[in-house]
């Protein structure tokens, strides 16, 4: 499966009450795992999420979602809706060749809420995954807060999750598996998700220039869709 947060497509952020700008930082839940992510949110709905370990940035500006890929001095910007459409079209053209073997079809995870958990001083609902034999994961896979003060973060992280997940080609089972996690994320602001945990939240104005694009948007024709398909 494509690494989460590595690629994205257009996503509609959930509606949240107008609040002051906010900046949140997520760090690996354990040493050597996942990524460090900084999410900046403006009260007008603009979002910027920097994935430092991946050299990638998601920017949502004026209702459009973009991804910025930086490698050395090279900067590539693409409109995620346009790229997602190109990938889906190519997946249809290639048919089964673009998807893993049927036996690799991912199981749809079952998330079960079991009590609460505290992450760096904040408490939220603890969501575990349940295996086919009825056993649960040792630790929560996600911890979701319902704190109204974190409402903008809820919308931003759901938008980012949808953006990355919708880039996955329409292979059997993939969208269903990813949608299960999104359903949990839709319930509130994640204190813990996909191996990262919320470290800090700062309230204060974010420079509007942070949501600008650093280079022209690349045409979908300039991207080789096959490189964005899952490996098989």
Kindly state whether residue 154 falls inside one of the protein's structural domains.
Answer: yes
Q: What is the pLDDT of residues 10-34, one digit of tens each?
A: 333 333 444 579 999 999 998 766 6
What's the domain count of the chain? 1
Kindly state whether residue 17 falls inside one of the protein's structural domains.
Answer: no
Kindly state whether residue 11 falls inside one of the protein's structural domains.
Answer: no
Kindly state whether residue 221 falls inside one of the protein's structural domains.
Answer: yes
Kindly state whether residue 16 falls inside one of the protein's structural domains.
Answer: no
Sheet containing strand 196-203, edge to edge, reads 110-119, 122-130, 142-145, 189-193, 196-203, 22-28, 37-41, 47-51, 56-61, 64-71, 74-79, 217-218
- Poorest-confidence range of 102-106, 169-173, 194-198? 102-106
Q: What is the pLDDT of residues 29-70, one digit of tens each?
A: 987 666 789 999 999 999 999 987 677 899 999 989 998 988
Could you write out the DSSP letters of every residue in 145-202? E--GGGHHHHHHHHHHHHHHHTTS---TTHHHHHHHHHHHHTTSEEEEETTEEEEEEE
User: CA-CA distance, 85 to 8, in Å (whole number)?
Assistant: 11
Residue 72, domain extent: 22-228
Kindly state whether residue 15 falls inside one of the protein's structural domains.
Answer: no
Kindly state whether residue 80 falls inside one of the protein's structural domains.
Answer: yes
Q: What is the pLDDT of residues 111-140, one digit of tens each?
A: 999 999 999 999 999 999 999 889 999 999
User: Tokens 């002051």, residue?
Assistant: 20
Kindly state whether residue 205 falls inside one of the protein's structural domains.
Answer: yes
């Amino acid at each position: 499966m494509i690494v989460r947060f590595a690629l994205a497509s257009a996503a509609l952020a959930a509606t949240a009450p107008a609040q002051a700008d906010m900046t949140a930082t997520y760090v690996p839940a354990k040493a050597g795992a996942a990524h460090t992510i900084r999410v900046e949110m403006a009260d007008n709905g603009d979002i910027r999420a920097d994935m430092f370990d991946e050299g990638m940035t998601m920017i949502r500006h004026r209702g459009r979602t973009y991804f910025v890929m930086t490698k050395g001095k090279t900067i590539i910007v693409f409109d995620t809706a346009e790229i997602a459409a190109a990938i889906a079209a190519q997946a249809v053209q290639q048919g089964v060749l673009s998807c893993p073997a049927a036996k690799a079809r991912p199981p749809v995870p079952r998330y079960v809420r079991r009590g609460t958990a505290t992450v760096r001083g904040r408490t939220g609902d603890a969501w575990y995954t349940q295996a086919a034999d009825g056993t649960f994961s040792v630790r929560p896979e996600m911890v979701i807060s319902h704190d109204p003060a974190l409402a903008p973060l809820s919308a931003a992280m759901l938008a980012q999750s949808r953006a990355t997940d919708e880039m996955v080609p329409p292979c059997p089972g993939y969208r269903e598996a990813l949608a299960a996690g999104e359903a949990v994320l839709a319930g509130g602001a994640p204190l813990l998700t996909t191996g990262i945990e919320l470290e800090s939240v700062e309230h204060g104005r974010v420079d509007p220039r942070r949501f600008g694009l650093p280079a022209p948007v690349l045409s979908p024709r300039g991207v080789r869709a096959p490189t964005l398909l899952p490996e098989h």
